[in-house]
Structure 1
């Protein structure tokens, strides 16, 4: 009985605050851009200056990263970087979620499964997810910031049209065909070389994995990071912003349609070929390869999903191994 009372008196583990999670992401970005290496000391004041914040939130965010094994804390030396900077992107994906982030993901998941109507209210969501109104409103603001939802008149919120169905998906590819090659051709395109190296490492690792263990979710993460890098590199702010806004729709649960592993690996090779041209500063060649990549992807989704190799654009023939 006494033991049970003691257990009940133990404080429940709180979810991390969203501002600490955001700062943890910024710290990882600063470490990657700053050329830090595994074993380098991360002085709180140095990190605070790099991120333009005070030391107090830095301390909390470093504790979060220590819990993920990204940094190491020792009594005498403080915090040091425990991973190679190339692993910063992977580490960021594994960070825990704040309560409002978890709720936002649940709302998106239910919306993708059509368990939520086009219009919702904070009160109805609070009842559905047994969350307090303040948390629900924070989750809605997160979704609003991602362009998944918008405030409607009164107390309602309206979901934006998603990439649902073959027609919407085809329009999405048409939109990207207009903008992504253009982003690569904008004078002054900037390639984030550190992120490119990290993406190359992840994509080559995926290609080396057998088909039976191929991780489709990891492919989706690398795919979004790759196309996000293109959007961020565009020297034209309007092109870059338009692509970034559209990319948020692709992060929505259920936005990735079923495609066989053959195509996913082929798509990864196409990403690497584009990357080769970008690293060689051959932007016109990269733009041509991007057009081909998007056209091949469009031909596979969703009509040709799970049908093996795509139609060859030059000859119109299909892969003879599949008898198609």
Structure 2
């Protein structure tokens, strides 16, 4: 590997038990070698997502699958430069700038100076997009895309309510829905009203002071990024033929059961890597139709502080680690 890296050592984040941000350690390890169908990426940006802190605490489906594989390097969102390609990789070569949702849900590995990825998980990063910012795109943007267009089948002219429109998934979903020609309503705090208005959202509902069920009715789609009682309450805004897609996995069964009891449609979902979807998203970014909002960039060594900020909630857009 010496042709690709100055040495065969790299810094990476690991945790050997579930717990608070203090379990996150930055340590040295060997740079991995790409296997068949894999590439080695020199990581620039690693996006952070709610699943990262939930998994670190031992919550949710990913935690169940990794608990016997600790110590583990977290991180599913990656952008950087290909430095080596394994056998049978024909689509990518060293020097290519790529992004993707990698190692999901059991592999992880993005919070590191170097990461392995399946070549077919990756998309080429638009030229104008810097690679730290690109690291914030894949998981949140794919979640928004698959929820809107696969699960909810959102169409032009439909009315959609996005719960938590200013967050990572939310701010992508708002822009995708607008691009598709939908009428977009979003909940947010008053501090994020202007941010969403600038993205083009038609109506912003301040969730501290207003009950969505009092404001909205007859909607075609609700994208629930909060879950629990908030998701259940939003069912009252749907038309008889409308659909709610709930993203937080911990409360998905609850929300779906409530919908069934009301004679309405609701679905839970789990994001999956899809380079074709990611290519379409990259095109929208390249054309200037979708913007990525980064609230804060943390160096790799400050991953614990980044997790604290992530877990506190109310992040506008995205947080990302600079792994260079």
- The verdict on a shared fold, with TM-score over 0.5 as the criterion, is no
| TM-score, length of structure 1 as denominator length | 0.23
Larger CA Rg, structure 1 vs 2 = 1
Structure number with higher relative contact order (C-alpha < 8 Å, ≥ 6 residues apart): 2
Q: Which has a greater percent of helix?
A: 1
TM superposition score normalised by structure 2: 0.23
More strand by share: 2
